[in-house]
């Protein structure tokens, strides 16, 4: 039993954190998001230099060959620095899915090295999401159709843009026609693959929500230490302190839930899907609580476009229903605990 990360994993996370602190400052992200595409080739290239895009790509295709536990740490950082969807979608989810496609080696050869070196963006369409993120920039779309996996080129789909309140999101309604030519996995294989994608995507969102929750808490702490009223920093008042302390409690108890989910997914454990749904619920609750409390601590400043809080708050709101809303994930947890003869109670935590 060891519930800690390996030193190497933590060291890599720390390196990514330091990099993003400099390269993904809020004012830079705002500039990028003001552009039409909302994405920066320059930033993606720098992220690739850090090795992030190569994380999940197998070594034979030019990657590092790491997995879910490494990504859970990196996705916390992507949340903390509000890095948009396409990075994790491409480098984590698409890399995972492409690697596991049945024997279509040309597809793997074509795309996995490009994922690793940061020159490809891949969008993923799954029926749990009504829209596809970043479809307009995607070099390739991996799309669900009756549990089959289809690989579709950008020029084979019709897109209509749906603006989101979250500035970094680029959501598209995708119209396309499935064919034998686009099918890369039949339903009997695709069903399990899509389940794997869904669980990893929900895990990625959970980890990002943890990072977002921590960022909004940190912004609330900074603001309440600097802002003075009645001659004192407002952070010295208990009414303010307790709001932020409650957020710290939620984050502290969501983290190990997310980490267990990552471990169970990485090791193909039978209850991994339940644990992922639990993780998503806990992390989203922490993130929403952090948004609300940090907003309150910021006062009217929190309601402005100018304050950076909005960047993280809106992302936390948007990601709540990404890859399964709360109803979806509660249903999955409920199916486990309300099943007849369910193994619950002390001693069942890691089974």
Partner 1 sequence: MRLEYTDRQQRFRKEVRAWLEQNVPKQPLRSFDTEEGFAEHRAWEGRLAGGHWSAVTWPREVGGRGCDLIEWLIFEEEYWRAGAPLRVNQNGIFLLAPTLMEYGTEEQKQRFLPRMATGEDTWAQGWSEPGAGSDMAAIRCKAVRDGDHYVISGQKTWSTRAVWADWLFGLFRTDANSVRHHGLTFILLPLNLPGITIRPVQQLNGETGFAEIFFDEVRVPVSNRLADEGAGWQVAMATAGFERGLMLRSPGRFQQTAKALVDLYLRHQARIDADPSVRDAVLQSWMGAEAYALATYRTACRLAKGGQIGAEASTNKIFWSELDLLMHETAMRILGARAELMPHAPDAGDIGRWLDGFLFAQAGPIYAGTNEIQRNIIAERMLGLPRS
The strand pair at 140-145 and 122-125 is best described as parallel
Residue 67 CB, shortest distance to partner 1, in Å, is: 11
Cα 199 to Cα 204: distance, rounded to the nearest angstrom: 9
Choices 189-197, 287-295, 301-309, 342-350 (CB under 8 A): range interacting with partner 1 = 342-350
Cα 279 to Cα 324: distance, rounded to the nearest angstrom: 12
* Residue ranges in 13-52 that form contacts with partner 1 under rule CB under 8 A: none
Choices 25-33, 56-64, 133-141, 257-265 (CB under 8 A): range interacting with partner 1 = 257-265
List beta partners, residue 145: 148
Instruction: Please classify residue 113 by burial: count the beta carbons closer than 10 Å to its beta carbon, then call 0-12 exposed, 13-18 middle and 19+ buried.
Output: middle
x/- binding map, residues 213-232, to partner 1, per CB under 8 A? Answer: ----x---x--xx------x
* By the rule CB under 8 A, 249 interacts with partner 1: yes
Two structure tokens written together for 323: 């890859």
Token look-up 């990625």 returns 204
**Hey, how many other C-beta atoms are within 10 angstroms of the C-beta on 214?**
22
Q: Which of 64, 174, 248, 321 binds partner 1 (CB under 8 A)?
A: 248
Cα 47 to Cα 201: distance, rounded to the nearest angstrom: 20
If binding means CB under 8 A, how many residues of this protein chain bind partner 1?
Answer: 51
Two structure tokens written together for 98: 């492409």
* Residue ranges in 66-85 that form contacts with partner 1 under rule CB under 8 A: 69
Q: Which of 135, 205, 264, 287 binds partner 1 (CB under 8 A)?
A: 264
Residue 131, CB-side half-sphere exposure with 13 Å CA sphere = 20
Helix (H, G, I), strand (E, B) or coil at 122: strand
Q: Which of 257, 273, 291, 319 binds partner 1 (CB under 8 A)?
A: 257
Q: Which of 96, 259, 288, 323 binds partner 1 (CB under 8 A)?
A: 259
Q: Which residues bind partner 1 (CB under 8 A)?
A: 1-6, 69, 217, 221, 224-225, 232-233, 235-238, 240-242, 244-246, 248-249, 252-257, 259-260, 263-264, 278, 281-282, 330, 333-334, 337-338, 342, 344-350
């Amino acid at each position: 039993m060891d519930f800690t990360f390996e030193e190497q994993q933590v060291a890599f996370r720390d390196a990514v954190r330091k990099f993003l602190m400099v390269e993904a400052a809020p004012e830079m992200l705002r500039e990028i998001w003001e552009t039409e595409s909302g994405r920066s080739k320059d930033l993606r290239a720098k992220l690739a230099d850090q090795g992030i895009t190569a994380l999940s790509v197998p070594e034979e295709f030019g990657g590092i060959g790491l997995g879910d536990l490494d990504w859970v740490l990196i996705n916390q950082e992507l949340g903390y620095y509000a890095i948009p969807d396409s990075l994790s979608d491409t480098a984590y989810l698409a890399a995972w899915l492409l690697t596991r496609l049945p024997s279509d080696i040309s597809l793997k050869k074509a795309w996995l090295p490009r994922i690793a070196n940061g020159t490809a963006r891949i969008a993923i369409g799954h029926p749990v999401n009504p829209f596809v993120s970043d479809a307009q920039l995607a070099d390739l779309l991996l799309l669900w159709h009756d549990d089959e996996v289809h690989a579709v080129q950008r020029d084979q789909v019709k897109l209509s843009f749906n603006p989101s309140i979250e500035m970094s999101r680029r959501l598209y309604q995708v119209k396309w026609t499935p064919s034998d030519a686009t099918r890369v996995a039949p339903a009997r294989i695709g069903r399990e693959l899509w389940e794997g994608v869904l669980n990893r995507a929900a895990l990625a969102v959970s980890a990002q929500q943890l990072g977002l929750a921590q960022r909004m808490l940190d912004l609330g702490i900074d603001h309440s230490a600097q802002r003075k009223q009645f001659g004192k920093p407002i952070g010295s008042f208990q009414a303010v302190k307790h709001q932020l302390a409650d957020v710290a409690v939620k984050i502290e108890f969501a983290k190990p839930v997310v980490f267990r989910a990552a471990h169970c997914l990485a090791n193909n454990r039978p209850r991994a899907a339940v644990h992922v749904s639990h993780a998503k619920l806990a992390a989203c609750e922490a993130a929403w609580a952090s948004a609300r409390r940090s907003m309150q601590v910021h006062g009217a400043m929190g309601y402005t476009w100018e304050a950076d809080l909005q960047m993280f708050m809106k992302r936390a709101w948007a990601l709540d229903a990404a890859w399964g809303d709360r109803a979806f994930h509660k249903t999955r947890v409920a199916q486990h605990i309300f099943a007849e003869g369910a193994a619950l109670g002390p001693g069942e935590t890691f089974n």
